[in-house]
């Protein structure tokens, strides 16, 4: 346990095991230097508790890096709840989770993630105020999509030296919450939008509202396009798919797009511009943080728009030093985080 905590420089790991509700939950707090740790609560099935713990630790660091580069005053944290195999009472389970969050006295603020929705956040809210994304807040996906849209514009400017998206082929993998909102923005900007999804209803909506073409899920990788925008799954860039890519730019909302960090360098060597996932998809975090702190929507939108400039800076550094953009983003996040911590020490 301490080996992986050291590796990811995670400061705190909290565990709650409750026999009555069946709650088995882990909260990892990477650090709270810039403010309370803010990060989603994942509710999925895990093969074992080691996998659940590793997920919480890895994701908590990701949230710290995301917050540092998005300029929000939050630390990084993440919660995972191991989804029971059989029957469970959601009200009991999430109530107990709410009490668990409350017991940390504000060092961790929870939010939605895979497997949780505003409905679960509403239950949690009955037991703690350290919660965002309840049903009385906006859907953060629209802010995430806006950030990805800005990121695509920054990528196109850097790679193709163009200020507009008119006629550009942009392929979106996954037209769920974020992919659909993004598709509308791209269509409005004049792009030729290609989509793929495993859900026919989502494809139908996309085709009737903004998309010009649909391709099969496996064909999206080799579809010739300027931008490939992963907005569905994790680990989509792996040793198989990297050989097929038909794009010049990868810029999408999906979390953990690279199966391993070395693939960042492979993309760089292939001349494919990669917009690091946790930089381009920070819009949802920016909104959640801003909403929690009662800032205006304008403040949130300004920060989301800044994703354009943060990515442009990363791309410039990447070009100047001939280093993968994903490595530059990690270095920049660490220097913001640990530079500030060292200064305070
Ligand atoms: P979602 O569940 O609403 O949409 C995902 C879509 O991907 C669905 O339509 C699903 O059918 C599709 N999909 C699944 N497998 C696929 C496959 N093999 N090929 C093509 N499509 C497939 O999720 P979302 O909220 O839109 O989030 C999308 C991604 O962005 C996720 O990785 C999420 O973690 C990440 N993200 C989302 C937010 C947010 O604000 N929602 C913020 C940051 C990161």
Render pLDDT for 7-31 as a digit per residue (tens, 0 to 9). Answer: 999 999 999 999 999 999 999 999 9
Residue 247 has, within 13 A of its CA and on its CB side, a CA count of: 31
Residues 6+ apart with CB under 8 A from 294: none
How would you label 327-337 residue by residue, b for 16+ Cβ within 10 Å and e otherwise? bbbbebbeebb
> Which region among 178-187, 202-211, 237-246, 291-300 has the lowest average model confidence (pLDDT)?
291-300
Closest residue to atom 20 of ligand 1, CA basis: 197
Please report the atom of ligand 1 found closest to the CA of residue 256.
Answer: 32
DSSP 65-112: HHHHHHT-S-EEEEEEEE--SS---HHHHHHHHHHHHHHTTTSEEEEE
Neighbours of 167 (CB within 10 A): 9
Q: Which domains does the chain have, with CATH numbers?
A: 2-63+74-125 (3.40.50.10860), 141-283+294-299+306-333 (3.40.50.720)
Span from the CA of 267 to the centroid of ligand 1 (angstroms): 22
pLDDT number for residue 340: 66
Closest residue to atom 33 of ligand 1, CA basis: 254
The pTM of this model reads 0.92
Q: What is the pLDDT of residues 247-294, one digit of tens each?
A: 999 999 998 899 999 999 999 999 999 999 999 999 999 999 999 998
Residue 72 reports pLDDT greater than 90: yes
Using a 6 Å cutoff on CB, does residue 230 contact ligand 1? no
Neighbours of 207 (CB within 10 A): 15
Using a 6 Å cutoff on CB, does residue 151 contact ligand 1? no
Span from the CA of 278 to the centroid of ligand 1 (angstroms): 14
Q: What is the pLDDT of residues 224-259, one digit of tens each?
A: 999 999 999 889 999 999 999 999 999 999 988 999
Alpha-carbon dihedral angle through residues 228, 230, 234, 238, given to the nearest 10 degrees: -10
Comparing C-alpha atoms, which of 39, 121, 119 is closest to residue 80? 39
Q: Position of tokens 């930089």?
A: 279
Residues 6+ apart with CB under 8 A from 202: 175, 176, 179, 180
Using a 6 Å cutoff on CB, does residue 254 contact ligand 1? yes
Span from the CA of 231 to the centroid of ligand 1 (angstroms): 5
Using a 6 Å cutoff on CB, does residue 132 contact ligand 1? no
Comparing C-alpha atoms, which of 200, 202, 178 is closest to residue 252? 178
Token pair for 76: 């990084």
* Mutation choice for ligand 1 from 113, 132, 173, 176, CB with most ligand atoms inside 8 A: 176
Cα→Cα distances 192→25, 106, 205, 286, 289, Å: 44, 45, 16, 29, 33
Q: What is the pLDDT of residues 51-67, one digit of tens each?
A: 999 999 999 999 999 99
Residue 110 reports pLDDT greater than 80: yes
Using a 6 Å cutoff on CB, does residue 39 contact ligand 1? no
CB of 307 closer than 8 Å to CB of 329: no
By annotation, the residues acting in catalysis are 78
């Amino acid at each position: 346990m301490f080996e992986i905590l050291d590796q990811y420089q995670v400061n705190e790991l909290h565990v709650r095991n409750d026999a009555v509700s069946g709650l088995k939950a882990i909260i990892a707090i990477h650090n709270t230097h810039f403010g309370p740790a803010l990060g989603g609560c994942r509710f999925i099935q895990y093969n074992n508790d080691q996998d659940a713990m590793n997920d919480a630790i890895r994701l908590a660091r990701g949230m710290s890096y995301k917050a540092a580069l998005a300029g929000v005053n939050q630390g990084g944290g993440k919660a995972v709840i191991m989804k029971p195999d059989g029957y469970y009472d959601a009200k009991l389970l999430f109530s107990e989770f709410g009490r668990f969050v409350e017991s940390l006295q504000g060092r961790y603020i929870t939010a939605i993630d895979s497997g949780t929705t505003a409905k679960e956040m509403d239950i949690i809210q009955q037991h703690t105020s350290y919660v965002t994304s309840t049903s009385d807040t906006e859907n953060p996906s629209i802010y995430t999509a806006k950030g990805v849209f800005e990121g695509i514009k920054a990528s196109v400017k850097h790679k193709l030296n163009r200020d507009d998206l008119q006629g550009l082929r942009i392929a979106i993998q996954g037209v769920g919450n974020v992919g659909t909102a993004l598709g509308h923005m791209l269509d409005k900007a004049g792009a030729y939008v290609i989509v793929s999804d495993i859900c026919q209803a989502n494809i139908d909506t996309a085709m009737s509202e903004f998309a010009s073409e649909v391709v099969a899920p496996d064909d999206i990788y080799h579809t010739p396009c300027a931008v490939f925008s992963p907005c569905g799954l994790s680990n989509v860039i792996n040793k198989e798919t990297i050989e097929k890519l038909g794009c010049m730019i990868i810029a999408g909302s999906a979390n953990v797009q690279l199966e391993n960090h070395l693939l960042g360098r492979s993309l760089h060597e292939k001349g494919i511009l990669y917009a690091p996932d946790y930089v381009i998809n920070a819009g949802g975090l920016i909104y959640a943080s801003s909403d929690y702190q009662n800032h205006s929507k304008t403040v949130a939108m300004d920060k989301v728009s800044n994703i354009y400039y943060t990515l442009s800076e990363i791309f410039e550094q990447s070009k100047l030093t001939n280093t993968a953009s994903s490595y530059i983003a990690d270095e920049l996040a660490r220097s913001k985080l640990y530079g500030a911590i060292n200064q305070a020490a």
